[in-house]
Amino acid sequence: MERLSVDYGKKSKLEFSVYPAPQVSTAVVEPYNSILTTHTTLEHSDCSFMVDNEAIFDICKRNLDIERPSYTNLNRLIAQIVSSITASLRFDGALNVDLTEFQTNLVPYPRIHFPLVTYAPIISAEKAYHEQLSVPEITNACFEPANQMVKCDPRRGKYMACCLLYRGDVVPKDVNAAIANIKTRRSIQFVDWFSLPQYADLKLISVGIPCKKFLLVLKLVN
């Protein structure tokens, strides 16, 4: 990261930080490595998307009905998140964004660049073809701590920035209605200078995927 900062100082540097968990730990020094790496990330990364193995482990057990999740199961879920974040680079959409806009809209202060990632819906293959989820349902699911990729509870604090990335057959009308419903929930608090309806604060991407039966949404918040 330090070398990249020197060689490509003007380029936006985004990274995915995967933090260890005791359930799938392979080395006793993992916590120490994480702390030291995070310190480097503060100085040499512009935006770092956080992923917690413990949170993903629990999601695999609860939502995907996997009794003993392996690294393969965890990595496949992380791959879906990376795919959704970079989807606008690979597909045409109504309101696509580039990677630079993540830094611009999600990072209010340079050192506070660790957005939380939430992905919905996360359901097993057996249930995928039998459940018909709507835009409001998957949007509400994104604001549930159980669907976060990091073990924490944002309801005890306030959001500074929010970005919603939709994939599938999504229309802005449905999204606006879902957002209006979210704003009425008292458990979701934003800082005073945050204005959700503005385009600078809410990023909407409508991206076509091969099977339009499915709707996906990825939430990035800081």
* Pairwise CA distance, residues 72 & 163, whole Å: 28
> Does the annotation count 101 as an active-site position?
yes
- State CA 214 to chain mean position distance: 18
Say which residues have a Cβ less than 8 Å from residue 160's Cβ, sequence separation at least 6: 108, 112, 190, 191, 194, 221, 222
In angstroms, the first-to-last Cα distance of the chain is 22
* Active-site residue (options: 101, 126, 137, 144): 101
Question: What phi and psi values does residue 14 have, to the nearest 5 degrees?
Answer: -110, 140
How much helix, strand and coil, in percent to the nearest 5, is found in the chain?
40, 15, 45
Residues marked active site are found at 101
